[in-house]
Chains A and B, each alone.
Chain A
Amino acid sequence: MATAVKVDGYGFERPEDFDFETYEEFMSRYLSVLVRRAKKWEQLFGSSPLEDHLKRSSKVKRYTRKGIPGDKRALVWMTMSGALARMQANPGVYQRLLEAPTHDDPVIDAIRTDIHRTFPENVFFVDAPEGQRVPLFNVLVAFARRRPDVGYCQGLNFVAGMLLLVVKDEERSFWLLDAFVGGVVPTGYYTPAMTGLRTDTRVLAELVRARWPDVDATMRREGATFDLVATKWFVCAYVDVLPVETLLRIWDSLFYEGAKVVFRVAVTMVARQRARVAAARGLADVVSAFRVAIDDPANTFAHDFMADVFRVPGSFPMATIDKLREQCERAVLEEDR
């Protein structure tokens, strides 16, 4: 067995029970995938500026689904999500958002509370001047000020933290967060009523019901809803839920194709544990089955995982999602009355 590396490439300390064997097996195959993909992207784009090429096309979509090379990831995310356009259209805005004092503001106090509680097991999230805690605070404060309708929602700390780890630039991470909340995911995910989030967990239930009535039947019988088991999947877009390499692949497509990808991943995870969920007895058993869905060693194999994500759930027309959203949102609003 290779020497056990205690920290992964993104600074996350590996837990004591980290499965090095599975990881080694994954990496030995994944490295050749990464090399092949890097070559493909080079061939596709040659030496001219990447952004000139990033027009929406089936080819770029296919390339994105197979993974964006690490050195191009930040730029591709910025371009595809519209974050770059937002940044270029708003010069100096980020800096100005940070000018006002940060005391006596309950929103900022809430952010401050969570800074030390974001990736405490990551070596980059430290108080040292080069650490990511100050950038994280700045990004979240600037965002809360740009979007007072959202302010700060717990979970955004993980999204912003992950962006910082990948993009390694405060202002760019801010614009990516702005594009993420303001365009990539549906409205109302992070607002105080969380209507959009609660709508989407119900949409997921409908998507599952249409595919696997046995899973739906068990969940109904045991009183298990997807907002009970999958809120974090949606709020964090799988940060701190799935392994980092897999997460980044999900985000590659998320920034290109939008929130539909979040459903594809969720449906795939349910599919993989279908038998276990369907056979569950009691709420605790259902919850444990979803725990297994998260801890499944197979999730480490990012390339296979993503192949499943675009195959297993079958066709995913946006019209269906939109229709389900409309229907589920009505139910959520009804519940709030």
Chain B
Amino acid sequence: MAGRGTAQRPNGAGAAGKICQFKLVLLGESAVGKSSLVLRFVKGQFHEYQESTIGAAFLTQTVCLDDLTVKFEIWDTAGQERYHSLAPMYYRGAQAAIVVYDITTQDTFSRAKTWVKELQRQASPNIVIALAGNKADLANGRMVEFDEAQAYSEENGLLFMETSAKTAMNVNDIFLAIAKKLPKNDQAGGGAVGQGGSGSRRLDEGGAGSQGSTGKCCK
């Protein structure tokens, strides 16, 4: 079952200094590898057959950027279309999203574009969206060209990487790239309307100020 607790890898612990917290959601067609990307990122593991995610799983992981620690609160969602009605709950108030497709299936790329459109329309206006072309290790069966996805990403202002949860290719990198792009000061705050009460905030404030501190970050 996905989402068993949280784990911190060494890179998450050390660095003193500022800590920022961001809500990130993974979206995409069923079986493109959303849970596998999270499992690779959070626990450094990969299972050839990852259990289908029902509803959503919640995990956390931190990454370090120079003197800054970024903590991701990750919502890994179910891919099947009928769980779509639950999706707004997960992306509401999110500062970042990874929209995942499978490079060996054209349909999953179309679905990814639909997700991007929905996020652009309905999520927080400043949400950082990354597009992940997963299963890059299966390049022999490639159906979605790198250039096509990159061009699309440029047009839409998305971060883009091809990833492989299996080989770990670009998995940490895509989360790092998101961490770099996220606004980390008051003025440039995510602007998330925190209906989920989950904006970014300084961890050392405890949870006491979590409500109403959405959209702000490290000072």
Where the two chains meet, the residues of A that have a C-beta atom closer than 8 Å to any C-beta of B are 15, 110, 113-114, 116-120, 153-155, 157-158, 190-194, 198, 221-225, 227-228, 230-232, 235-236, 240-241, 280-285, 287, 291, 295, 336
Contact = CB atoms under 8 A, between A and B. Distances in A.
A193 B58 contact: no
Given A221-B211, A227-B89, A283-B196, A192 B82 contact: yes
Contacts of B195: 223
Contacts of B173: none
A283 B69 CA distance: 19
Interface stretch (B44-52, B126-134, B157-165): B44-52
Given A154-B80, A281-B206, 14 more contacts: A15-B4, A110-B30, A110-B80, A114-B52, A116-B49, A154-B53, A154-B54, A222-B210, A223-B196, A225-B89, A227-B55, A240-B51, A281-B208, A283-B197
Contacts of A198: 85-86
Given A117-B50, A291-B5, A228 B198 contact: no
A153 B54 CA distance: 10
Contacts of B89: 225, 227-228
A117 B2 CA distance: 12
A222 B189 CA distance: 20
B49 A154 contact: no
Contacts of B31: 113-114, 117
Interface string B127-148: 0000000000000000000000
Contact of B82 (A194, A221, A230, A240): A194
Contacts of A228: 56, 89-90
Nearest to B31: A113
Nearest to A284: B73
Given A284-B60, A291-B5, A192 B81 contact: yes
Given A120-B50, A222-B210, A231 B93 contact: no
Nearest to B85: A194
